[in-house]
Amino acid sequence: MIELNELTDAAQKAFPADALSPGRDESWRLVAEMGWLMVRLPEEDGGLGLDREASAAIHFEMGRVLATTPLIPAQLGLQAVLASEIAARVEWLERLAGGEYAPLHLLPAKLEAAPNGTLSGVVGGVFDADMAMAVVAKLPSGYALVPTDAPGVSIVERAIWDPSRRLFDIVLDGYAPDPALMLTDADGAAALHDALAPEAHLAVAADCLGAANAALELTIEYMKMRRQFDRPIAMFQALKHRAADMKARIAVAEALLWNRVRDDAATLVQCGAAKTLAAEAFAFVTEEAIQLHGGIGLTEEHPIHRFMKRAMLNLQLCGSPDLWNERTGREALG
Amino acid sequence: MTDTPDLEALRREVRAFLAAEAPTGWRDASRTQDDFVRTQRDWFTRLVSAGYAIPHWPAAFPGGGRSLAEQKVIYEELAKADCPRLLLSFVSTYHAFATLHECATREQQDRYLPRILEGETWCQGFSEPGAGSDLAAIKTRAERKGDVYVVNGQKVWSTMAQFADKCLLLVRTSSDGPKQAGITYLLMDMKAPGVSVRPIHQIQGDEEFAEIFLDNVEIPVSERVGEEGKGWAVAQATLASERGLTLMELSYRMRGALARVASLIREHGHEDDRGVLRDFGELVTQVDAVCAVADQFLDNRIKGIERIGDASIIKNSYSRALRAYAKLGLRLGGIAEQYVAPITFGDLNTGNWMADFMNSYAWTIAGGSEEVQRNIIAERMLDMPREPKAWVA
CB pair distance less than 8 Å for A240 and B277:
no
Tell which residue, B75, B73, B76, B88, has the closest CA to residue B26.
B88
How are beta strands B122-125 and B141-145 bridged, if at all? unpaired
Q: What is the ipTM of this complex?
A: 0.94
Contacts of B386 in chain A (CB under 8 A): 235
Q: Which of B199, B196, B210, B96 is nearest to B158 (CA)?
A: B210
Q: Which CATH class is domain B245-381?
A: mainly alpha
Q: Measured between beta carbons, which residues in chain B are less than 8 angstroms from residue A227?
A: none
CB contact under 8 A, A256 and B293: yes
Measured between alpha carbons, how far is B169 from B187 in angstroms, rounded to an integer?
6
Q: Delimit the CATH 2.40.110.10 region(s) of chain A.
A: 109-186
Indicate where chain A has its CATH 1.20.140.10 domain(s).
188-333
- Homologous superfamily of A109-186: Butyryl-CoA Dehydrogenase, subunit A, domain 2 (2.40.110.10)
**In CATH terms, are B120-231 and B245-381 the same topology?**
no
- Topology of the domain covering B120-231: Butyryl-CoA Dehydrogenase, subunit A; domain 2 (2.40.110)
Tell me which of B102, B120, B242, B379 is the catalytic residue.
B242
Q: Which among B277, B384, B386 has CB closest to A329? A: B277
- The CATH code of domain A4-97 reads 1.10.540
Residue A122, H or E segment = strand A119-127
Strand order in the sheet with A119-127: A109-113, A119-127, A167-175, A153-158
The fold of A188-333 is: Butyryl-CoA Dehydrogenase, subunit A; domain 3 (1.20.140)
Residue ranges, chain A, pLDDT below 70: 1-2
Q: Among A308, A313, A312, which Cα is nearest to A290's? A: A308
Whether B242 is catalytic: yes
How far is A18 from chain B, CA to nearest CA, in Å? 19
Q: Are A208 and A278 in contact (CB under 8 A)?
A: yes
Enclosing H/E stretch for A331: helix A321-333
CA–CA min distance B134, chain A (Å): 16
**What per-residue confidence (pLDDT) applies to B393?**
66
Would the CB atoms of A273 and B378 count as touching at under 8 Å? Answer: no
Q: Under an 8 A CB cutoff, do B374 and A326 touch? A: no
Q: Where in chain A is the domain with CATH 1.10.540?
A: 4-97
Most B CBs within 10 Å, among A208, A252, A269, to test the B interface? A252
Average pLDDT along chain B, 393 residues, taken 10 residues at a time: 87 96 88 91 96 96 94 93 93 96 97 97 96 92 97 96 97 94 97 97 91 98 97 93 86 94 96 98 98 94 88 96 98 96 87 95 91 96 90 71
Q: Tell how far CA A126 is from the center of its chain.
A: 11
Out of B296, B377, B384, closest to residue A234 by CB: B384
**Does the beta carbon of B319 lie under 8 angstroms from any beta carbon of chain A?**
no
Question: Is there a contact between A329 and B381 if contact means CB atoms under 8 Å apart?
Answer: no
Q: Where are the domains of chain B?
A: 5-86, 120-231, 245-381
Torsion from C-alpha of A227, A229, A233, A236, nearest 10 degrees: 160
Three-state SS letters, chain B: CCCCHHHHHHHHHHHHHHHHHCCCCCCHHHCCHHHHHHHHHHHHHHHHHHCCCCCCCCCCCCCCCCCHHHHHHHHHHHHHCCCCCCCCCHHHHHHHHHHHHHHCCHHHHHHHHHHHHCCCCEEEECCECCECCCHHHCCCEEEEECCEEEEEEEEEEEECHHHCCEEEEEEECCCCCCHHHHEEEEEEECCCCCEEEEECCCCCCCCCEEEEEEEEEEEEHHHEECCCCCHHHHHHHHHCCCCCHHHHHHHHHHHHHHHHHHHHHHHCCCCCCHHHHHHHHHHHHHHHHHHHHHHHHHHHHHCCCCCCCHHHHHHHHHHHHHHHHHHHHHHHHHHHHHCCCCCCCCCCCCCCHHHHHHHCHHHHHCCCCHHHHHHHHHHHHCCCCCCCCCCCC
Measuring CA to CA, which residue among A174, A286, A292 is closest to residue A225? A292
Nearest to B384 among A223, A273, A328 (CB): A223
pLDDT at B241: 83
